[in-house]
Amino acid sequence: MSETETRDFIRQIIHDDLESGKHAEIVTRFPPEPNGYLHVGHVMSICLNFGVAAETGGRTYLRLDDTNPGKESKEYVDAIKRDVHWLGFDWEDRLTHASDYFGKLYESACRLIEMGCAYVDSLSADEIREYRGTLTEAGRNSPYRNRSVEENLDLFRRMRAGEFGDGEHVLRARIDMSSPNMNMRDPALYRIRHIPHQNAGDEWCIYPMYDFAHGLSDAYEHITHSLCTLEFEDHRPLYDWFLDQLKPEHRPRQIEFSRLNLAYAVTSKRKLNTLVEEGIVSGWDDPRMPTIAGMRRRGYPVAALREFVTRAGVTKKDKLIEMGMLENCIRETLGEQAERRMAVLRPLKVILTNYPENTVEMMSAMNHPARPELGTREMPFSRELWIEQDDFMEEAPRKFFRLRPGGEVRLRFGYIIRCDEVVKNAAGDVVELRCSYDPDTRSGTGSSNRKVKGTIHWVSCEHAVDASVRLYDRLFNEANPNAVDDIHSALNPKSLEVVDGKLEPALMELSAGQAVQFERLGYFCPDEKDDSAGARVINRIVTLRDSWAKLEKQAMQQQNQVV
């Protein structure tokens, strides 16, 4: 396949612009609003904006779109910078804020007034909404639309000086109240908000609207290609209108692409904030959240996220991407990288009745079956062991190749054992297995040719490390929770289960975010906030197999037919 055939449509546009000499250098920007944490959809935008610039030797700005001080905070600003860096991108000296341009934006607004292209409106918010019309009915001109240039300038300057209260006046563009595009019906340019700004402090009490600030900020920074998601397609005529009127030195071009919609997740900041405020999750960085902070805390590798957005592709068609695609990228990445360890999550005690008391053997265990260069480690083996409850069945079906009364299994890196006796409590629950081991079957010795069909993992009771293990699953049961009226009804009640696990001693050496595979169970890592040397808290990153695959395939077919 040729390079041209593998380019997405945005990269093709950029290639053509460079080939034609329209641009000597590509300059892009990633402009998040600091009103929440970044989520998986932003990963696509970050990788695209930084990626296309880097591929062509260009530059990218990280611009904080801080035009709405009532919902923004330094916490969100810091989180955004941390997330972009974690994904592997560097804006170098190109960190900017929309608020850096408030002075220039104010001057541009005054110019629009002087040109007769903007006016101060004194209608209330409800009245403006009423006058705006509907998708099928044209809007009506405000009674204040024909104020003189002098009166508009005077009112706007007094707005700037703080003479009026919130909502008393707004500055609007004078375009066309009968336009079929609602965005062109005299949109607001400035509103009064007597609120301190997280970057500008108390310097301003009027703030520009996003549509006014965005295109001009692009122009000030000499952005060549302003890459936006499809919901901004209807805003492009307004983006261009401001540039047409004000004629800045540099003219950027807006191009839209489809946003990344991930199944079984919401990416609306409003809905994510609801989950946080109502305590449904522990915070923006809860490992069940589709935020970058949540995914980092859960243990998702950066390489897997970047591979995921590459596979999802840059298109013009809205679609819902399977959660299974993301999880498979994680499995593939960790399958190659992560060392293997043993842990028991639902412990059942095994006593080897014929094993010498007060004896400990060290078993040699491979750190990775496909990467011998990662070496081996020593695992203590003793008379009393923990195995998984699911690895024993008292009345087992014919093809159950784990432990059963009278049956045999191999302990990984250890011996073959036979279950001789089942011990139960007063309620009839199995609490202990008494087994015998075959001393001639130690792994790696070649002293016995005896074979058994089942192999299970284990941890020595005496040497086990106690850990609180958080088993995370999807936060929602619905493939498209965004389409559900009440997201509470779509929540998965089993999205988090906490179990008291038993870990092999080598797992004490794990550091926060360091992923390993618990053999036969999945991929796990220490929680970056709650884990400590004295109290291990471990997160499940992803299971070894996709248990949702069949259900998700059916749901995706239905949802993408709707989209």
Catalytic (active-site) positions: 33, 259, 269
Tokens of 60: 């990218």
User: How many C-beta atoms surround the C-beta of residue 15 within 10 A?
Assistant: 17
d(CA 313, CA 306): 11
String of DSSP letters for 349-386? EEEETTSPTT--EEEEEES-TT-GGG-EEEEEE-SEEE
Beta strands in 149-267 (DSSP E): 170-173, 188-192, 206-208, 225-229, 253-257, 261-262
**CB neighbour list of residue 71: distance below 8 Å, 6 or more residues apart:** 33, 35
CA–CA distance, 35 with 71 (Å, rounded to integer): 5
**How far from each other are the two terminal CA atoms of the chain, in whole angstroms?**
30
Rounded to whole angstroms, the Cα distance separating 482 from 475 reads 13
CA distances from 483 to 87, 202, 417, 538 (A): 29, 40, 53, 33
Residue bearing tokens 């800045």: 248
226 and 252 Cβ atoms separated by less than 8 Å = yes
Question: Cα(515)–Cα(61) distance, rounded to whole angstroms?
Answer: 32
Nearest to 214 by CA among 14, 40, 66: 66
User: Which backbone phi and psi does 508 adopt, to 5 degrees?
Assistant: -65, -20
Tokens 């929680």 belong to 527
- The contacts of residue 50 (CB under 8 Å, 6+ apart) are 28, 30, 60, 89
Amino acid occupying residue 52: V
3-class state of residue 141 by DSSP: coil
Structure token pair of residue 255: 């191009």
Among the residues of 115-235, which ranges form H helices?
A: 125-131, 149-161, 210-220
